[in-house]
Amino acid sequence: MFKSIKLLHKVPQVELSNRRSSSQVKTAVIMLNMGGPQHVNQVHDYLHRIMTDRDMMQLPFQNILGPYIAKRRTSEVQKKYAEIGGGSPILKWTNIQGKLLCEKLDKISPNTAPHKHYVAFRYVDPLTEYTLKEVEKDGAKRIVLFSQYPQYSCATAGSSFNAIYSYYQKKKFPDNIKMSVIDRWATHPLLIKAIGSRISDEIKQFKEIDRNNVVILFSAHSLPLKAVNRGDAYPSEVSATVHAVMEEIGYTNPYALVWQSKVGPLPWLGPFTDDALKGYVKQGKKNFILVPIAFVNEHIETLHELDIEYCKELGEELGVENIRRAAAPNDHPLFIDAISDIVSQHLRDNITVGPKFLLRCAHCCNDRCYQSKHWYSKVCNSN
């Protein structure tokens, strides 16, 4: 019998009012992500920014076609946000994670305290440009640009870093601020433990007799094959996370890496999550756990695509016995320990920017990437 997944993913009501005043900030930790509309009336602008971002996607006649697609898709996407409660919880989750992170950093890294987190979204408020202004206004002495994508892709993290570069082409980067970059952390041991713990929690929900046969499907946002063939690091870094998690839980179950959220007619990296489910059901598999492996908090791809479209609707259609979804890391204590460890180690070791970040994709033909990486190398290594 099909069991719908539980909503493990409600955002707790956490008091976020301990935001520091400007005189209290020594280290600003800027949490970079694409973001998600908090209200359905933000959906159009959000889509418009995505569709016109050439780091995210390259369309022919993009300044005409991009806005056209955004307009055409708005009502369909609004409907999806309405079905998950009217908006994305990504801002709330990121604020919770940032608050807990900075509380921990103040304790374990007193030399760089006080710390304050900032959220910089690429396509919706708080937009990156706005956040950078706020950080400067607060007088931070040190900025850590912390990508909230554990695995790096030029379409996601790369787009955020390029946006920061673009912002500082219009104004000089302040001489008195030191900036550094955390661009990827796909196999951090505590991230792996947090995901492993989320999976173990779900496995316990299956009948004891079925537990070892539950197929674990690690699901990540797909990429156009064009980007993969250009040399985008994302597929290999997602695979690295999957293998580290399986090692953590002792390779107890059958598992596969699958890809979700394809849009448009061009070829994307597969197998796709829904097709994989159909394939495994045909092979006689009856029990599944879907694991969001590239998202650190809940948003539309987990709450709608995985929960509603796949676990509920497709699960029912295929007649699976049980299909559940592991929660994203969210505020799991191991995850908060993971991000605290990543940032504190980064500060302690006085890392500026890693060599992998500065290496472009083998077939990158985006001039902005070249200029942006050159700029990071100069700015991060200058103070």
Residues tagged active-site: 188, 341
Q: Are 269 and 259 in contact (CB under 8 A)?
A: yes
Closer residue to ligand FES, CB minimum distance, 142 or 230: 230
Q: Which residues contact 101 (CB under 8 A, 6 or more apart)?
A: 29, 115, 117, 336, 339, 340, 343
Closer residue to ligand FES, CB minimum distance, 216 or 369: 369
Closer residue to ligand FES, CB minimum distance, 133 or 374: 374
**Measured from the CB of residue 372, what is the shortest distance to ligand FES in angstroms?**
9
Query: How do 255-260 and 215-221 pair as beta strands?
Result: parallel
**Measured from the CB of residue 361, what is the shortest distance to ligand FES in angstroms?**
3
List binders of ligand FES among 134-193 (CB under 6 A): 154, 158
Q: Are 95 and 102 in contact (CB under 8 A)?
A: no
**Measured from the CB of residue 40, what is the shortest distance to ligand FES in angstroms?**
32
Choose among 315, 289, 153: nearest CA to 219: 289
**Measured from the CB of residue 49, what is the shortest distance to ligand FES in angstroms?**
19
- How far apart, in whole angstroms, are the C-alpha atoms of residue 210 and residue 60? 49
Choose among 84, 339, 362: nearest CA to 191: 339
DSSP string, 241-257: HHHHHHHHTTS-S-EEE
Site map 350..369 versus ligand FES, x via CB under 6 A: ----------xx--x-x--x
- Using CB under 6 A, pick the residue from 20, 230, 278, 285 that binds ligand FES: 230
Q: Are 217 and 273 in contact (CB under 8 A)?
A: yes
- How far apart, in whole angstroms, are the C-alpha atoms of residue 190 and residue 197? 10
**Measured from the CB of residue 244, what is the shortest distance to ligand FES in angstroms?**
24
- How far apart, in whole angstroms, are the C-alpha atoms of residue 65 and residue 78? 20
**Measured from the CB of residue 233, what is the shortest distance to ligand FES in angstroms?**
8
Closer residue to ligand FES, CB minimum distance, 289 or 379: 379
List binders of ligand FES among 286-325 (CB under 6 A): none
Q: Are 110 and 313 in contact (CB under 8 A)?
A: no
Closer residue to ligand FES, CB minimum distance, 100 or 223: 223
List binders of ligand FES among 1-60 (CB under 6 A): none
Q: What does the block give as tokens for 83? A: 């079905």
Number of residues that bind ligand FES (CB under 6 A): 9
Closer residue to ligand FES, CB minimum distance, 231 or 271: 231
- How far apart, in whole angstroms, are the C-alpha atoms of residue 37 and residue 50? 12
In the complex, the residues that contact ligand FES under the rule CB under 6 A are 154, 158, 230, 232, 360-361, 364, 366, 369
